[in-house]
Structure 1
């Protein structure tokens, strides 16, 4: 086994660890690990990422549900448009991306480069979301009434669904703010609810790939199993580590990774 492949499997553990510690962000790591360490094509990597993040998030969602930190009604309101969007994106839109997206002079932007640069832009947005210190708000009360802004929640679900379909990221950095602002969920419940939404729509998105791609199940299941071990460890360690500091630190790491991907793909 080559060093890069070994580091890739170690990265699977880290993906789960991050999901367990901060309730999101693991998907931001999965695609770069699969592309740069394992050596997969970006389109295949985004598909595998959906499965890994989806299954791993199921474990996190179950643990949060046991603690009463998952709002099922909000999950349904958000998830239905997201599920439709992510499935249609993986089933039809991704396969329509041409081999050469566009040409600038002598430089060809292939579909692989396009997807990785688009993913890097998503990483930039994610890093800013994690680095920014959230303002204190009134919806920290676990017993506060939940207000449903159906049109906005549905629209956010569609946007996140399309984004998830293209880059294979769970979109937790978009879902959590939406649940806090639009559904007035307390932060802890927003994190738990987000994991459930991420789990369901990621796995639905993966189903859209089954007819388009040949899946290496032996590799995918091993990688996913390591990620599950990571999230179990992460959930346990989260009791002893400040989530705010860890989230901000991971945000800076994501920012550096985003610039690295842009540099590597374009320069």
Structure 2
């Protein structure tokens, strides 16, 4: 679902030439490898453990977004090779495969921290990386499906992916109404609220078991 939604958004941004492809490949290819590998280890975590880990990492990402200032110039030039960017891709990919998410909440802070691209370019580029990560992670999960008794609800996948894709297109249009810095702050606040909500909800569920 995440991959299909991200793909829709990426296509829209590409039509407006917002994607930094050199950055996408430097970050995306290592993250694909790490996502595929770490997805196999997800069977050693319970669902509650995955959710709590996901929320904690989201909280850290939200706090980091409040610290760094961003470049306001879009398409400021090609990103030179960065070993730190490759390592960041490996780390985010590993987390994405392990907890079963596309990793956008980590990709955008990482791109802003290790490159000089703008918030808009970071969002656009992250959608390509999310698509790649989701594809490789899903392939591994699909291969494990029979052995681990995993069931895919294709109807739910279609509904959520369809609605999410339409929302993605709407979100891209709405984002043009905000400044780069304000967009970054909105994203950080959203991550903070979601991470706290998930942590509280998951811990309550854990205590009630």
Q: TM (normalized to structure 2)?
A: 0.82
Q: Tell whether 2:44 aligns with 1:96.
A: yes
Q: Distance in 2 between matches of 1:192 and 1:123?
A: 20
**Aligned partner of residue 141 in structure 2, secondary structure:** coil
Aligned residue pair count: 199
Q: Are the aligned partners of 1:142 and 1:186 in contact in 2 as well (CA < 8 Å)?
A: yes
Alignment RMSD (CA, Å): 2.4
- The correspondence for 1:125, drawn from 43, 47, 60, is 60
Q: Are the aligned partners of 1:129 and 1:173 in contact in 2 as well (CA < 8 Å)?
A: no
Relative distance call for 1:219 and 1:88 in structure 2 (3 A) is same
Partner residue, 1:251: 188
Partner residue, 1:5: none
1:185: Cα distance to partner? 3.0
Relative distance call for 1:237 and 1:156 in structure 2 (3 A) is same
* Correspondence 1:36-185 to 2 at 5 A: 52-90=1-39, 92-97=40-45, 111-130=46-65, 132=66, 134-135=68-69, 137=71, 140=73, 142-149=75-82, 151-185=83-117
Relative distance call for 1:175 and 1:118 in structure 2 (3 A) is same
Q: Tell whether 2:199 aligns with 1:262.
A: yes
1:199: Cα distance to partner? 1.2
Relative distance call for 1:241 and 1:141 in structure 2 (3 A) is closer
1:69: Cα distance to partner? 1.4
Tell which deviates more after alignment, 158-167 or 239-248.
239-248
User: Which consecutive unaligned segments of at least 5 residues does structure 2 have?
Assistant: 205-209
